[in-house]
Amino acid sequence: MASAALQQYAANRAIDYLKPHVEKPTVDAATLSMLGNAYMAVGKPELALQQFERAAALDPENPSIKAGVAVSEMNSGQAREGLAQLERVFESEGGAAIAGPTLVLSELRAKRVNKAAEVAASLIKLDAANPLYQTLLGVVDVAQRDYAGAESAFRAALARNPQFAPAVARLGPALPGDGGGPTMPRRSTASVYQRRPATPPRS
């Protein structure tokens, strides 16, 4: 029920359902993590951190829980500690896919563009066909003012999934006349959304 509520963007309903369960002595890490995610969804990172820390005590090697701790820390004013924790999760076994996307954006927010580029490149090596990873690579390219590279990455994402909203949203504004950089060839935003032959993803 709580999982369904979260999927329906009804985090408050999930919180109401989960709170009695987390007070039981038999509560498990998955339930605590779900409550942590619900608190994050309603903008209460301090409460989320409490739940993720409790979950980590029960399941200390779970990379998803560790990532939850890290993100909660960053949103609770512990940016440096949270970012360091997220980097450790990314480097751990099985942690790249879990922590990578958030880490790319967190490194960009910390103005560590080169580090964000390293993480994005690692994700592409992990799965070059993943439209999210290609979109993140494009976001990093924009931060590096590599607008041609950004366009290529966004097109590669759309070639894999033409309806992938993050890539569609990013591609148009990256063009000249729409707030983009001067190094990309000028064309209308409408033409960008037209289907073209698949651009081979960078690997």
The pLDDT tens digits for 50-81 are 999 999 999 999 999 999 999 999 999 999 99
pLDDT grade for 193, boundaries at 50, 70 and 90: very low
Structural domain spans, the chain: 1-111, 119-203
Contacts of 203 (CB under 8 A, 6+ apart): 124, 125, 128
Residue 2 has pLDDT above 60, yes or no: no
Q: What is the pLDDT of residue 195?
A: 36
The structure's pTM equals 0.77
Mean pLDDT value of segment 179-186: 35
Q: Within 10 A of 5 (CB to CB), how many other CB atoms are there?
A: 20
As a whole number, the mean pLDDT across the chain is: 83
Residue 109 has pLDDT above 50, yes or no: yes
Helices (H), the chain: 2-7, 11-22, 29-41, 45-58, 63-75, 79-91, 96-109, 113-126, 131-143, 147-160, 165-171, 189-192
Contacts of 36 (CB under 8 A, 6+ apart): 48, 49, 50, 51, 52, 55, 68, 72
Whether the CB-CB separation of 144 and 174 falls below 8 Å is answered with no
Q: What is the pLDDT of residue 3?
A: 60
Q: Does domain 1-111 have CATH number 1.10.8.10?
A: no
Residue 187 has pLDDT above 50, yes or no: no
